[in-house]
Structure 1
Amino acid sequence: MDDIEYGLRTDVADEEINTLHAAAFGHEILAVPWSTRLRGHSLFWVTARRHRNLIGFVNVIGDGGAHAVLLDLCVDPVSQGRGIGQRLVRTAADESARRGCQWLHADYESPLRTFYEDRCGLRPSPAGLLRLSPSC
């Protein structure tokens, strides 16, 4: 995948992430203010672009200390299965470690276990989740 450029905290438009997120997660395109959220709450984010088109993204938040958390990892369905998601996670892990984090967390559903555990090296751990509203 030599034609893919990975970036750290690069400029990304709300519309780009909204379109990618909808395609990757199979929902309608929403008007999420990603730029505001990223600048206000993220440690950093990683992008993957092919010919300037956003095809992959992951957001990383943290507690200001030992913990970093992967959020909204998504790869365009047309580009899935080519190691892009794996590279996004590896880049996020390396940058988190560089910033002094000791743990990288990710919540994922059972169908994604092979990706996160076998391909990305995460260990399963019990966690709790409480849905606060039907949509975000």
Structure 2
Amino acid sequence: MITYVEGGPVDDVELSRLHDLAFTGILSGDVRPWSTRLRTYSVGWVCAYAGGELCGFVHACWDGGSHTFVLDTAVLPDFQRRGIGGELLRRLSTLARQAGCEWLHVDYESRLDGFYESAGFTPTLARLHRLA
């Protein structure tokens, strides 16, 4: 049973662990200031829990107007391909719409085309400028 919590409290250690395992499969031990970042920059976030364990997360930053941007869509490897990521995005879309946003943008690797298209995202052209 997966439980979803929208905009609830976030444990920096727990979310840093999830992020490491979902993106690299390796625990770095670095603890990032998620709680502060989310309160400062996010229009909303959604956490997924399985038996009290954080197993999924997504949030969106916004421009204060009509655009918001999906960041850090993450599901623990053992929980992937169960619809958790799609449900996280569906709930995040609702939060962004309720905040008055008209557009929800996402950047991702091409191997995730099917996942994001199934979550309602339309392919578009975009460009990226690496600053560091």
Q: TM-score, normalised by structure 2?
A: 0.93
Identity %: 45
Q: Which amino acid aligns with 1:90?
A: R
> How much does 1:40 deviate?
1.1
Deviating 4+ runs (over 6 angstroms): none
Which residue of 2 is the match for residue 130 of structure 1?
Answer: 129
Say if 2:22 is the partner of 1:24: yes
Mean Cα displacement is larger for which, 94-103 or 28-37?
Answer: 28-37
Report matched runs for 1:18-97 at 5 Å: 18-26=16-24, 27-29=26-28, 30-97=30-97
Q: 1-side partners of 2:129 and 2:32: how far apart?
A: 21
Query: Aligned partner of 1:123: which letter?
Result: T
Structure 1 residues without counterparts, runs of 5 or longer: none
Question: Which runs of 5 or more structure 2 residues have no equivalent in the other structure?
Answer: none
Distance 1:80 1:114 in 2: 14
Query: SS of the counterpart of 1:96?
Result: helix
Structure-1-length-normalised TM-score: 0.91
State how far apart, in whole Å, the 1-side matches of 2:45 and 2:120 are: 20
Out of 43-52 and 22-31, give the one that drifted further.
Answer: 22-31
- Give the equivalent residue in structure 2 for 1:112: 112
Deviation at 1:98, TM superposition (A): 1.4
Give the count of matched residue pairs.
Answer: 130
The structural deviation recorded for 1:31 is 2.2
